[in-house]
Chains A and B, each alone.
Chain A
């Protein structure tokens, strides 16, 4: 087994015991990048030289006998909508083509305190708007399990990097499923923390009441460890939660005896792929056999979640993206006067999906439509949240598929935006309610594509979903299998 195939916690132990050096590990991952990145296209920016320098620095610290932090010397990748001081942050948009942040996002400050090796910035749907990474203004990312398929999105680059061995761990962001769905499509673990658990300071804003940063990882243990690094109150983000942060690794124990698992009937929808349904139901049977109790529940407002999400998120996006005006940073396209300059800049530099969402958002917020659309959506959001509150009086966690299908072929859905939006049915309700969710592999389709199980928790109770995920993971072997890219021996 090559080093790039191992999870971070195994590599951490090897570094600590001085069985390997970070330079050795980093060179192994860089060689993997040389070998498969041309087929996968997970990265927008690679920072090879800096990565090797960080590896050398980590090795010196370890040799000096200093305590080894979890991510120390371990190569990871960062989604390109997270501000990285001195390293270009494009959001996969032409409007930020030359943007080099003069500061780090809080999550980057926290990650860098661990002395990791940072390989570069990963591809996404422009401004995180999309579920396939096809909306990137730069290039398409390919699913490592079948390069004809999408990796999911919007954190498709981060998921594809972790799945193909071109990063050991990665950060993504999740506004309506953008960590969990690509994790599901690429067969890795993705965790969206409770809203407020992780600071949003320095994350390029899409929909501020929904956005969260979280890990994409090889296994549940790595996800818990990365969550430990990035969580916590931040005075730079007034919506970050003051709740104490537990040590999430303490939740990693095999124990689901008596755990009450809710199965929401509304999530097993008509459009669901039968192979997905079977894989998820088999996983739930596995939980039952391990001592969990399965309870059928109802979340009656689920069918309104797509409408609610696709009004609130574009409305917030329309407001947040007003800042791209060609004045203080980003691209500028000249015009005769100020308004023409702004209009030229935005028309030429934003992609189609971003423009569509800005216009839908402004439509929903405009005079005459505000009450019928935006305000109505905010009220239905309350009802969606109440559904969960009631369900969680009866159960400890809720389980359902992460996505209604496995990864689909590139180009097969992009021309029908509404059809794309409907694919988000299993993931957007959590963001509306602010709840934590994790996706982990629970099967493969007949075509060999990964299927994800989603576990939803109570607000600020990431520990229970981590414990449930860990228990199932240890009963299976998915976390030890990596995608076989072309040319490799199976």
Chain B
């Protein structure tokens, strides 16, 4: 197996997800099958090949730095699960 229980736990933490005990085996098997299939990429010689991140060649798209209308605060906060005095509200991060 390429994917171990430890790998799954590690990647779940990175993903801010929790995988319940009874689903771990299924996730491990499915991810293992997928990643094993993907090993076919190792057949390809990419010694002198540059990576492609975007299909169309474009770089440094600039525009004037001008102030333009944007969402007002009310609208930007309209979907917040919790807000207070014009701010998003989150659980306490720092100790007292």
Say whether A associates with B.
yes
Chain B residues with Cβ under 8 A from A380's Cβ? 41, 44, 46, 49
Q: B34 an interface residue at 8 Å Cβ cutoff?
A: yes
Which of B46, B55, B80 counts the most chain A CB atoms within 10 A? B55
Q: A327 an interface residue at 8 Å Cβ cutoff?
A: yes
Q: A379 an interface residue at 8 Å Cβ cutoff?
A: yes
Chain B residues with Cβ under 8 A from A421's Cβ? 34
Query: A98-B79, A336-B91, A341-B90 are contacts. A355–B49 as well, Cβ < 8 Å?
Result: no
Interface residues of B in 71-90 (CB under 8 A from A): 71, 75-76, 78-82, 88, 90
Q: Once the chains are docked, how many angstroms separate the CA of A38 from the CA of B31?
A: 36
Q: Once the chains are docked, how many angstroms separate the CA of A301 from the CA of B12?
A: 32
Chain A residues with Cβ under 8 A from B88's Cβ? 327-328
A366 touches B82 (CB 8 A): no
Q: Which residue of A lies closest to B3 (CB)?
A: A363
Q: A407 an interface residue at 8 Å Cβ cutoff?
A: no
Q: Once the chains are docked, how many angstroms separate the CA of A325 from the CA of B78?
A: 16
A contacts with B, residue count (CB < 8 A): 72
Q: Is the interface of B mostly helix, strand, loop or mixed?
A: loop
Q: Which residue of B lies closest to A103 (CB)?
A: B71
Chain A residues with Cβ under 8 A from B91's Cβ? 334-338, 340-341
A367 → B minimal CB distance (Å): 10
Partner of B38, one of A310, A330, A341, A350: A310
Q: Once the chains are docked, how many angstroms separate the CA of A301 from the CA of B38?
A: 14
Partner of B40, one of A304, A330, A362: A304
Q: A100 an interface residue at 8 Å Cβ cutoff?
A: yes
B17 touches A330 (CB 8 A): no
A248 → B minimal CB distance (Å): 19
Chain A residues with Cβ under 8 A from B52's Cβ? 378-379, 381-382, 385
Query: A327-B90, A356-B27, A359-B27 are contacts. A379–B17 as well, Cβ < 8 Å?
Result: no
Q: A111 an interface residue at 8 Å Cβ cutoff?
A: no
Q: Which residue of A lies closest to B83 (CB)?
A: A328
Q: A249 an interface residue at 8 Å Cβ cutoff?
A: no
B2 → A minimal CB distance (Å): 10
Chain B residues with Cβ under 8 A from A320's Cβ? none
B16 touches A346 (CB 8 A): yes
Q: A195 an interface residue at 8 Å Cβ cutoff?
A: yes
Q: Once the chains are docked, how many angstroms separate the CA of A83 from the CA of B50?
A: 35
Q: Which residue of A lies closest to B58 (CB)?
A: A239
Q: A375 an interface residue at 8 Å Cβ cutoff?
A: yes
Chain A residues with Cβ under 8 A from B44's Cβ? 301, 304, 376, 379-380, 383
Chain B residues with Cβ under 8 A from A18's Cβ? none
B70 → A minimal CB distance (Å): 9
Q: Once the chains are docked, how many angstroms separate the CA of A332 from the CA of B80?
A: 9
B40 → A minimal CB distance (Å): 6
Q: A99 an interface residue at 8 Å Cβ cutoff?
A: yes
Chain A residues with Cβ under 8 A from B8's Cβ? 359
B contacts with A, residue count (CB < 8 A): 49
B56 touches A102 (CB 8 A): no
A343 touches B16 (CB 8 A): yes
Which of A102, A239, A363, A377 counts the most chain B CB atoms within 10 A? A363
Interface residues of A in 422-441 (CB under 8 A from B): 432-435
Which of A98, A381, A459 counts the most chain B CB atoms within 10 A? A381
Q: Once the chains are docked, how many angstroms separate the CA of A347 from the CA of B18?
A: 6
B16 touches A342 (CB 8 A): yes
A307 touches B55 (CB 8 A): no
A209 touches B17 (CB 8 A): no
Q: Which residue of A lies closest to B89 (CB)?
A: A327
Q: Which residue of A lies closest to B32 (CB)?
A: A418
Chain A residues with Cβ under 8 A from B41's Cβ? 304, 307-308, 311, 373, 376-377, 380
Q: Once the chains are docked, how many angstroms separate the CA of A246 from the CA of B14?
A: 45
Q: A358 an interface residue at 8 Å Cβ cutoff?
A: yes
Chain B residues with Cβ under 8 A from A378's Cβ? 51-53
Q: Which residue of B lies closest to A209 (CB)?
A: B54
Partner of B17, one of A196, A347, A433, A434: A347
B38 touches A235 (CB 8 A): no
Chain B residues with Cβ under 8 A from A306's Cβ? 37
A383 touches B46 (CB 8 A): yes
Query: A326-B81, A432-B55, A459-B56 are contacts. A360–B16 as well, Cβ < 8 Å?
Result: no
A192 → B minimal CB distance (Å): 12
B17 touches A329 (CB 8 A): no
B49 touches A328 (CB 8 A): no
Q: B1 an interface residue at 8 Å Cβ cutoff?
A: no
Chain A residues with Cβ under 8 A from B16's Cβ? 325, 339, 342-343, 346
Interface string of A24-63 (1 = CB under 8 A from B): 0000000000000000000000000000000000000000
16 new A-B contacts at CB < 8 Å, known A338-B91, A347-B17? A195-B56, A235-B63, A307-B38, A328-B80, A332-B82, A346-B17, A359-B17, A362-B11, A363-B11, A373-B41, A375-B51, A376-B46, A378-B51, A380-B44, A385-B52, A459-B56
> What are the 7 closest A-B residue pairs judged by CB atoms, nearest first?
A434-B55, A378-B51, A329-B79, A332-B81, A102-B75, A379-B46, A238-B61
